[in-house]
């Protein structure tokens, strides 16, 4: 009987204690709400909160989304609600906590945190006090700028590449509390969390070569978003092998991100109607050690050396990714490489002849210039005269042995006659030029002739 009464007394005492706690909590909340309603709130320039843009890979945990601020007076508290996007609906992102690591106050006086990961759109509500109330000047955070807190997120392994907006919530004020609990509403700069799967792409650079050239370099470059420890890639190239127009002679690492890998294997096939090269490089000995590979970045991976036959005709040859294109990450995982093809263009540069000027005076002269990209040889030229009373020859011819690109030479012709356009039509001078490379040009002009003088 005594045991039953004792249990009854314990239950009554517990009920009384819980009721007392509820009353106290109600009074505190009411007082706090009343106090908050009595506070002044004002929006001033020079106060801001910025949610930093962040990139993160699928499968990452404990990633910090930094929230920074700028303020012009000592602050004692911050109250903020941040909403984020629909990735919560499929579990791509989970907000796990708030951290003050590396912040302006790593151990605030107190804080309250409410995280919602349950809806299609989630939110995080944070109230941080840097000093206990009532505030004391000099006990808060001095005027300045810095990191206020970190939103800690986990990203699912299965998360798709996407951008997630982190923005100020419409349903809650964002404010700093100053001395005497005066509230300032800062500008809020939203941020974007980019979920991006690690990738590695290889690009075969477009290259232009001339027939008869050796040691031509086709650069193969890449871009990767995580440390890499090895690469194996096959590159196929085209039908020019069947007629001997091109030959792959070597693979080199000159000027590349790593000129002396731990191991290096290369295979070159020039035997079929279409050939290939296979490259296998290890940048660290297995088992891999983090920090010993090639850091995330971009650069040239290797060079394909090509020799072009003297008789090769103008054409384009596609260099594409083959059936093997992978790279290794820590600890020993293989990932596929995207290969961006390139084109090797065989182009035989030609000279280009131009008659740049025709002048009169004692006879006639003209300038023949090579404005092309290669040497012109055996340039045969002639000047013809039509109309007028010509006492000497109406034709003059000659040969210029060579003209390099940019070079020119003046040709001349003496005349004797009358051609003023009165009795006969005005004399017409025609200048022709052609070189061994099959390039030709011509130009004509009408002029008066009086004895040995040409008037243009």
Domain borders along the chain are 42-195, 200-346, 353-455
The answer, yes or no, to whether residue 12 has pLDDT greater than 80, is no
pLDDT at 8: 46
pLDDT at 41: 58
* Structure tokens, 387: 């109309």
Kindly indicate the confidence band of residue 64, based on its pLDDT and cuts at 50, 70 and 90: very high
The CATH number assigned to the domain with range 42-195 reads 2.60.40.680
Residues 94-103 have a mean pLDDT of: 95
pLDDT: is 377 or 388 the higher one? 377
pLDDT at 232: 96
Least confident of 35-39, 215-219, 225-229: 35-39
pLDDT at 272: 67
Residues 429-452 have a mean pLDDT of: 91
pLDDT: is 39 or 64 the higher one? 64
Residues 119-138 have a mean pLDDT of: 90
Q: What is the pLDDT of residues 302-342, one digit of tens each?
A: 999 999 999 888 899 999 998 899 999 989 989 899 999 99
The answer, yes or no, to whether residue 129 has pLDDT greater than 90, is yes
Sequence-distant (6+) residues with CB within 8 A of 15 are none
pLDDT: is 370 or 26 the higher one? 370
Residues 434-455 have a mean pLDDT of: 91
Q: What is the pLDDT of residues 392-424, one digit of tens each?
A: 888 899 999 999 999 999 999 999 988 888 888
pLDDT at 242: 62
Sequence-distant (6+) residues with CB within 8 A of 34 are none
Kindly indicate the confidence band of residue 91, based on its pLDDT and cuts at 50, 70 and 90: confident
The answer, yes or no, to whether residue 259 has pLDDT greater than 90, is yes
> Among the ranges 23-37, 89-103, 206-220, which has the highest mean pLDDT value?
206-220
Is 366:358 a contact under the CB 8 Å cutoff? yes
How far is it, in rounded angstroms, from Cα 248 to Cα 266? Answer: 12
Kindly indicate the confidence band of residue 240, based on its pLDDT and cuts at 50, 70 and 90: low
Kindly indicate the confidence band of residue 262, based on its pLDDT and cuts at 50, 70 and 90: very high
> Is residue 87 within a helix (H) or strand (E), and if so which, with residue range?
none
Among the listed residues 137, 172, 220, 199, the one whose alpha carbon sits nearest the alpha carbon of residue 335: 199
Q: What kind of fold does domain 200-346 have according to CATH?
A: Immunoglobulin-like (2.60.40)
The answer, yes or no, to whether residue 244 has pLDDT greater than 60, is yes
Least confident of 59-68, 116-125, 343-352, 427-436: 116-125
The domain covering 353-455 belongs, at the CATH homologous superfamily level, to Immunoglobulins (2.60.40.10)
pLDDT at 223: 94
pLDDT at 47: 92
Kindly indicate the confidence band of residue 388, based on its pLDDT and cuts at 50, 70 and 90: confident
Q: What is the full DSSP assignment across 2-60?
A: HHHHHHHHHHHHHHHHHHHHHHHHHHHHHHHHHHHHHS-EE--TT-EEEE--EEE-TT-
The distance from CA 351 to its chain's CA centroid, rounded to whole angstroms, is 38
Could you tell me what percent of the chain has a pLDDT over 90?
61
42-195 and 200-346 in the same fold: yes
């Amino acid at each position: 009987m005594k045991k039953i009464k004792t249990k009854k007394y314990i239950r009554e005492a517990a009920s009384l204690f819980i009721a007392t706690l509820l009353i106290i909590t109600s009074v505190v909340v009411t007082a706090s709400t009343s106090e908050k309603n009595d506070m002044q709130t004002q929006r001033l320039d020079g106060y801001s909160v910025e949610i930093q843009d962040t990139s993160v890979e699928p499968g990452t945990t404990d990633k910090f989304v930094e929230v920074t601020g700028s303020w012009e007076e000592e602050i004692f508290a911050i109250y903020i609600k941040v909403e984020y996007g629909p990735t919560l609906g499929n579990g791509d992102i989970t907000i796990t906590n708030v951290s003050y690591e590396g912040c302006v106050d790593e151990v605030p006086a107190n804080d309250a945190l409410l995280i919602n990961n349950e809806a299609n759109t989630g939110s995080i509500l944070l109230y941080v006090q840097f000093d206990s109330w009532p505030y004391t000047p000099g006990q808060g955070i001095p005027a300045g700028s810095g990191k206020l807190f970190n939103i800690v997120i986990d990203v699912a392994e299965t998360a798709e590449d996407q951008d997630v907006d982190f923005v100020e919530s419409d349903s809650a004020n964002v404010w700093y509390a100053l001395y005497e609990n005066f509230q300032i509403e800062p500008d809020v700069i939203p941020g974007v969390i980019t979920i991006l799967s690690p990738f590695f792409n290889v690009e075969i650079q477009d290259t232009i070569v001339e027939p008869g050239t050796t040691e031509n370099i086709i650069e193969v470059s890449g871009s990767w978003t995580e440390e890499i420890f090895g690469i194996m890639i096959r590159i196929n190239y085209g039908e020019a092998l069947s007629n001997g127009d091109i030959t792959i002679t070597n693979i080199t690492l000159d000027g590349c991100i790593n000129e002396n890998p731990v191991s290096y294997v290369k295979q070159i096939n020039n035997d079929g109607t279409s050939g290939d090269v296979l490259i296998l490089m290890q940048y660290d000995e297995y088992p891999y050690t983090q920090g010993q590979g090639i850091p995330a970045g971009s650069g040239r991976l290797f060079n394909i050396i090509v020799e072009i036959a003297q008789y090769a005709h103008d054409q384009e040859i596609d260099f594409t990714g083959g059936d093997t294109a992978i790279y290794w990450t820590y600890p020993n995982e293989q990932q596929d490489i995207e290969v961006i093809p390139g084109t090797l263009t065989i182009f035989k540069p030609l000279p280009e002849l131009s008659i740049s000027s025709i002048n009169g005076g004692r006879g006639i002269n003209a300038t023949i210039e090579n404005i092309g990209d290669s040497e012109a040889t055996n340039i045969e030229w002639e000047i013809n005269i039509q109309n007028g009373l010509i006492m000497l020859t109406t034709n003059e011819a000659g040969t210029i042995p060579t003209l390099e690109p940019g070079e020119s030479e003046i040709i001349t012709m003496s005349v004797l006659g009358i051609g003023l356009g009165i009795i006969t039509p005005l004399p017409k001078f025609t200048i022709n030029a052609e070189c061994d490379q099959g390039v030709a040009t011509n130009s004509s002009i009408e002029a008066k002739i009086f004895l040995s003088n040409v008037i243009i």
